[in-house]
Amino acid sequence: MASSAETVPGPKLRVAAIGDLHVQETDSAPYRELFTEISGTADVLVLCGDLTNFGKTGEAEILAEDIRACTVPVLGVLGNHDYECGQPEKVCEILSQAGMTVLDEQAVEIRGVGFAGVKGFLGGFGRGELAPFGEPIVKAFVDEVMSEARKLENQLRTLRTDRSVAVLHYSPIADTLEGEPEPIFQYLGSQRLCDPIDRFDHVKAVVHGHAHHGTYEGRTPRGTPVFNVAQFVLRPRFGKPYVVLEI
Ligand SMILES: [Fe+2]
Ligand SMILES: [Fe+2]
C-alpha cells in the first residue's frame, strides 16, 4: 500500500507514518505488534503527535516500551493531548530515553532524507484565520503558531538534503480537514504552518495528525503533498493504522 509522494532520483526511503496513538494507562503493549510489523516494512517510523491520551508519564512509559521493540529509527512530534497534564517535557524525556527523536528545535537526516518537525498550533485558514490584532491575549495566541512556524522554518533551512519530510500534529492546510465540521477547522490547524513548507524545494511530503475525521490527502498552495496520517483516517482507507510513503 505504498504511495509515492513525488518522483525523485535515487533510492527511496520507506517512511511509515501514524498519528494519534492516544496510549492510555490501561493499555498493555498497544503498539508492540504494529511496530514490529513496521520494522519489517519500513526504514523509519514517524509518529505525528497525540502519542498519549492525557500526557501522563504512565502512558508515555507504556508507549516507550513499544518504541523499544522497534528496530528502525523512530521520530516524531508531540500533540496537544501530550500537553494535557502540563508536563510535555517529561513525556518527551521518557520517549527520548526509549530511542525516539522528538522533533521540535532540530532537524535530523536519515539516509539522505531530512526530517523537520514541530507540533504546530491552531489559528485557521483563509478568511477564518485569526489575526494578531487587539487584546494582548489574541496577539499571544497568534504568536504561538508563528513561533511554531518559525521553528519549522529554521529546521528546514538547516537541511542540506534534496528530499525532506515536514512532520506536524496540526494541519497546515484545510483540505485534509474535510470531513470534520467546518466551524472547527480553525482549531485543527493553521495556514501559517504552510509558509515555511512552501519556501523550500526539498520538502517532498508533509505528514500530520489531529483531525481524526479528516481526509487523507491534500496539497499545499505550491503543490507539496500533505497526508493526514491520523490512524482513524488511515484505518478505514487502508485497513491499517499506518501508511508507508516512499520519499
Ligand atoms: Fe488525536
Ligand atoms: Fe490532537
H or E stretch including 34? helix 32-41
Q: How high is the pLDDT of residue 1?
A: 45
Residue range 95-116, pLDDT digits in tens: 999 999 999 999 999 999 999 9
The arithmetic mean of pLDDT across residues 170-185, rounded, is 97
Separation of alpha carbons 122 and 227, rounded Å: 17
How is residue 247 written as a grid cell? 520519499
Question: Chain centroid to CA 118: how far?
Answer: 7
Q: Ligand 1: distance of its center to the CA of 62 in Å?
A: 17
Residues forming beta bridges with residue 71, ordered by sequence position:
none
Residue range 42-98, pLDDT digits in tens: 999 999 999 999 999 999 999 999 999 999 999 999 999 999 999 999 999 999 999
Question: If DSSP codes are grouped into helix, strand and coil, which group holds residue 157?
Answer: helix
What is the bridge-based pairing of β-strands 225-228 and 217-219?
antiparallel
The radius of gyration computed from the CA coordinates of the chain, to the nearest angstrom, equals 17
Nearest ligand to the CA of 170 is: 2
Q: Ligand 2: distance of its center to the CA of 121 in Å?
A: 10
Q: Ligand 1: distance of its center to the CA of 192 in Å?
A: 20
Q: How high is the pLDDT of residue 187?
A: 96
* Residue 8 pLDDT grade (very low, low, confident, very high; cuts 50, 70, 90): low
CB 68 within 8 A of CB 98: yes
Q: Ligand 1: distance of its center to the CA of 89 in Å?
A: 19
Nearest ligand to the CA of 187 is: 2
H or E stretch including 201? none
Residue range 153-162, pLDDT digits in tens: 999 999 999 9
Q: Ligand 2: distance of its center to the CA of 49 in Å?
A: 7
Q: Ligand 1: distance of its center to the CA of 231 in Å?
A: 9
How is residue 100 written as a grid cell? 525516539
Q: How high is the pLDDT of residue 5?
A: 56
Residue range 131-146, pLDDT digits in tens: 999 999 999 999 999 9
CB 75 within 8 A of CB 100: yes
Separation of alpha carbons 27 and 135, rounded Å: 43
Nearest ligand to the CA of 229 is: 1
Whose cell is 527520548? That residue is 96
Give ion ligand 2 contacts, CB < 5 A: 50, 79-80, 210
Q: Ligand 1: distance of its center to the CA of 13 in Å?
A: 26
Q: Ligand 2: distance of its center to the CA of 11 in Å?
A: 33
